[in-house]
Structure formats: C-alpha cells, structure tokens
Structure 1
Amino acid sequence: MDKSGERLDGSGLDGQVRRGVAGSDPAPATAPSGAVPVGAELIAAHYVARRWTLTSKAARPFIHLLCLPGGGIAEIGQSGQTMRTVGPALVWLPAGSADYLEVSAGTTAQLLQLRAGTWHRYLPPSAEAAYLALEGAGGILALQVEADLAATIARSIAAIAAEVATPARSGAASIMSAELSLCVLRFWRLFAGDGTRNEESSSTEILSRFRRLLEERYQQHLRVSDYARLLGTTPDRLHALCSRELKRSPSELIQQRLVREAATRLEAGTIAVKQIAFALGFTDTAYFSRFFRKHTGEAPGAWRRRVAARARAGRSRPTLNFADWP
C-alpha cells in the first residue's frame, strides 16, 4: 500500500501490488501521499492475509474506498470491534473511522485513497453533491452490491492506478477525473435513494454541507443561488434554514466568512492590503476596502494598525461586529 497506510504484514506483496499516487500537478508515482489528494492500489490474491493500519499520521487524513469485486473477504477493525465484509462489496472508510484494514488470503481487491478536503480537485461541478455527501459521511459504509457494479468500479480504480503510475502521459489528469467521477457517483447513488435522501435533506444536513462548501468556495464569491444549486435545494429554502437556525441569511454568512478571513490575514502579518484583497477574490482594492469598512467600521489599514497597537499594549484583539462563523 502507498504511504497513506502502513503495511503491518508485508509478506508476499513484491510484484503483486500495483500502486500510484496523484497530485494536482504531474508528479512521480513515489511522491509522498501526504501532499496529494488521490491514490489507487490494486491488491492481487495471495496465500496470506495482509493488514494495513489506518491510524498512522500519514493515513489519518485519507478516506478509503475498498472494492471487493469477487467473493473475497475484508475485515475492518474499529475501537476494539471488527466488521467483516464478503464480496462483491464496496466499503467507504471516512478518514479516521477505522483502526486497520485486513484483506484475507486469496482475496483480490482495489483500494482508492482520497485525501479528505482536497480530493474534490479532480471532480467536475456536476459531482459536487456526491462529494459533499461522501465527504461528510459520519461512519463506515459497507454495502453488498451486484457483481457487475463491483467489477465496473474495480476497473475505474485500476484505470486511476494506471494513470497515477505514469502521470506524465498526455491526458492523465483528465482520465483520472473521469474515472474518479464515475466511481464516486456510482457509489453515492447506492445510498442516495429516497429513504436516505430524505435524511440527507434535513435542515441539519443541508446547513452542515453549506458550511463545508462555503469553507471551500468563499474566495470564489458565489451567489446564494449558486450554493443552493450545489446543495440540491432552492435559494428560498436555504435562506429560510439559515435565518431560522443561524439567525443570519446566507448572504450575511458568505460576507461574514470573507470579513473574518480578511481580518485574520490583516492581523497575521504585513502583507499588503492589495495582496490580501486579490487572494480573497477581489479584483478591486478600493471595493475590498469599502467591503471591509462596511462590516467592521474601519478600513483594512486602520484595522491592522489598531490590532498592532492593542497587541503592544497587551490588550485583546478588537471584536468584529458580528458573531463568529458557527
């Protein structure tokens, strides 16, 4: 397995495991997994069981999708308990959800490794709903599936492994994006049926997904209607939920997230206001200054000077005129 997991029993693996790790830019297949969002591994059948720990510093940031296309067996250890899955099956392991993964003797499997919070770089906007739902999965999802579906996902993982092993080939990133999208969407469809969709569409779930999405996209200055579309809801419903549960409209939350980030960057160092404005998606420094003043009562430069003066005097930082982002 690549460094997103640590092999405890490495016997019999030479020449039998094909692996690769991909980054947002072409990089050697031996690139450290901690710096890249996607990896894939093919596990050939062997006469001994093999186990990987998922609690190491390198493994904890990664989500794992295990595909058992045949009748093999996998065991997942979690808090002193074990979960046994017989193929054909798919298992989604959120980051930090399991202590170890063991593949039994004679089992063929494919393993997809996704760095939490960053693997969406390879997904198109059309897969945003699937990404948000899977990224926010709270526990292990083990699903028995038809052999044909397991075989299809196994082929997608194999294709990803081939591309990350030779990232310099023309179109590698595009092929990876296509295969990863198919893999994720097919898996998402399994638990996004009517029953679970009702649960996912609850107020708490929509707000949770909105927060995650805003954390990733606030610099893009998306409109409320854009967020609603990505969340699979309407602007009116999103507005009603935010106003009722958070006592603020979606527009206010979007603006406040930008102000909070701007204040943090102004306080953190001496980077020019123009650079901060550009980093936050503002193309006009004057507009950024007006935006910041509207929400804090001070221009960016004045805010920075006041924070520095309070720090020299041993006083706490000034508070913003709105509640912190929840």
Structure 2
Amino acid sequence: DASINGADSKTISCCFDFVMTNPPFYDTLEEASLRRNGDGRERIDKSESEGVYHRGGELGFVIDMIRDSFHLQQQVKWYTSMIGRKKNLIAVERLLKWLGFSKANVRVTSFIQGKTTRWGIGWTFEKMPARTARTKSLALTFDVKVPVQRRLVPLLKNIEENEVLKEVASRIYQFAHYDVKIPIKLKCSTRTDTTSHGSEIIITIIADTEYSCKSTFFDDHQIRQVRFYSFLVGETRKTLKLPLLLPREGHFLLDARIKVLKDIDEVSNICRSVVVNVHSFSHSAKGSDIIGKIIGQMKGEISRTNRRWRRKKDREGQL
C-alpha cells in the first residue's frame, strides 16, 4: 500500500495492458478452516496469506484494488479480478457505478464449470467510444407518411425523394430542439450516406455541451443510498480526483437513420413513406432515463400522430 499510495503517473514510467487477479476468498482464518457443507471436505489447501484477506475477504481485496487503481490510472489499461460470490459482484458493480464509471468502462463475464459459477469483472479509465455493443440501449423503427405530388420523370422523382428526406429531417430537428419534453437541451448533427440503394440521412442527437460536461455522479438521494461505499473505500470522491469517464458525446447518443421506401406498391399517389430507424447508446443511468423519454415521445411527434397533432388537425378542419 505504501508504494502505491505514494506513487503517481509522473513517477511510474511503465505501462501494462491489463492486471489480472484471483483474490483471497476468505475474510478470516476461521472461515477458511470450516469444512464444506455437504461432503465435509476441507475448504482450502492454501496458506493463510494465500486464502485469507483480513480486510474484508475478496470484496475488501477488490475494493482496495479499485482504490489503488485511481493512483495508477494511466499505467494500466484494464484492471480485472475474479469474484466467487454473486453478492460481492453486485457490490463491486454498484461501487464502480457510484464512482463514475460508465457502462462501457466496465465488463462482467461468467465462468461456469459444472454446478460452480464464478464471475470476472474488469474496469478501465480509458475513454471509450460512444457506440459500443455494451452501451446499446433502446431501438425504434417507424414509418412517416409525407404528402407529395407524384412525379414520374426520374430526375424530378429524385428531387422529390430529397425533399421528403429533408422534411422528415426538419421534423426531427424541431422535435429535438423544441418539442421533446425533457429537462435538458439537445443538439443535432447531420450527415448523408449515399449507396447504390439510394440516399439516407443520419441525424445524431446528443446532449448539449453544458450538460455533457456536468458530473456523472448521482444526486444526493442516490448518494445517501450507497454512502457506505465511501467508508469501504476509505476516501471521498474528491480525494480520489475522479475523472469524467464518459465519451465526448456525453451520457447518451441517438442515431436516427431516415430513408425513403422505394417500393411504389407501399406508397400512395399523394404520400411517400419514409422509414426512420433509431438506435441509442447509453453510458449511465441518467443517459438511459433520457433515452427512454426521447424514444417514448419521438414516434408520435415525427409521424404527427399523437394527441397534440390530432387536436391540431381537428382545429384546422373546423376552420
């Protein structure tokens, strides 16, 4: 402990790809000496120093390892440990979440041999991409009917498709900037992807810069729920100098891909059908909450089929 606590990134020049540990399982020698339930076999054939960690068993070992990892953030890319009890795995996952690690910065896996299950957990201080399999969240697909005047000339038809795509894109911008009911502001960016199957517009929605740079940590109520972790770690979050473990995009990201359906049989003479595919990525509980609210409101606003738009059409019909 003395060598690690006195070390920092400036005094250690070497760098390792990963650290792999199999912690001492038991908290006390008495616990390690008890015979197994059922067959009565001896629990371990290891020495006390190998099988017992007097500062909390395997949970205490991993917690101390997490504490030490903050002093060596740039020297090790991935910290990993095996865990023998599911309740300890849950406790470690909650601790890493409380400390500000995003979903992409933590990995969990299972090792199953017969009736025995063990778990492996890893964490990293590396900046992770916004789009990863680990951070995939809700998805949504829906059609939008856009009124048009049918054009049979091929060149004019292509112009029509571009106009339809721009119309749906403008609705998404309107929704993200003004109509969505969430407590933060959003911003959008657009790119166009052209293939042999036609063009599509991809709109990426993220939180604005001000929100993205705020703390990743929980509110006061949530902190009180896991306050005992501060005692286990032995240091406050300010003492640990926690980094902001989020990608530059922030807590979440949504990609909305807009494409005009080519099959004429599926469209009428006065409308073109546009398919909107939405994929989301969440890096925190806060991000998941915001994604749920956006996805829940998006279809009705973009396709203009929710109660607000129905009432608006009714009022226009009465005029």
TM-score, length of structure 2 as denominator length: 0.22
Structure having greater relative contact order (Cα 8 Å, sep ≥ 6): 2
Higher fraction of helix = 1
Q: Which has the larger radius of gyration?
A: 2
TM-score, length of structure 1 as denominator length: 0.22
